[in-house]
Structure 1
């Protein structure tokens, strides 16, 4: 049985992105951040999702940041 080297991992179209709350900073609260993945070939534009912000205790719009 062949053993794979740790450096030989899959390299595909899926990238890790960070989502940050858009409503928290203007009012002086901490923005919540989420980490997820997306396929950069099928979704080249920036993602915008509704996620829960525990600092505001409600669902808010989270946009992709660099």
Structure 2
């Protein structure tokens, strides 16, 4: 299989201000659940929880 078919582009959204700050590639075969990462938000100016959008 090609690598592009396995990976899917996702966008992370800040839980506090709902700004879309980050975009990542996710392997759809190995990671079934939605991604949640604590990252820095430039709008909030602090580290907040970022979740994957649909």
Cα deviations by residue, 1:30-53 (Å, 9 ceiling, x for unpaired) = x24210011111101100001111
CA-CA distance at 1:10 after TM superposition: 5.0
Corresponding residue of 1:5: none
Q: Could you tell me whether the CA contact under 8 Å between 1:53 and 1:59 is conserved in 2?
A: yes
The structure where strand makes up a greater share of residues is: 2
Asked if 1:15 is matched to 2:8, the reply is: yes
Radius of gyration: which is bigger? 1
Unaligned runs of 5+ in 1: 1-8, 26-30
Structure 2: which 5+ runs fail to align? Answer: none
- Aligned pairs for 1:54-65 (under 5 A) are 54-65=42-53
TM-score relative to the length of structure 1: 0.69
Structure 1 consecutive aligned stretches of length 4 or more whose deviation exceeds 4 Å: none
Q: In the comparison of the two structures, how many residue pairs are matched?
A: 53
**TM-score normalised by structure 2 residue count:** 0.82
The RMSD of aligned alpha carbons is: 1.7
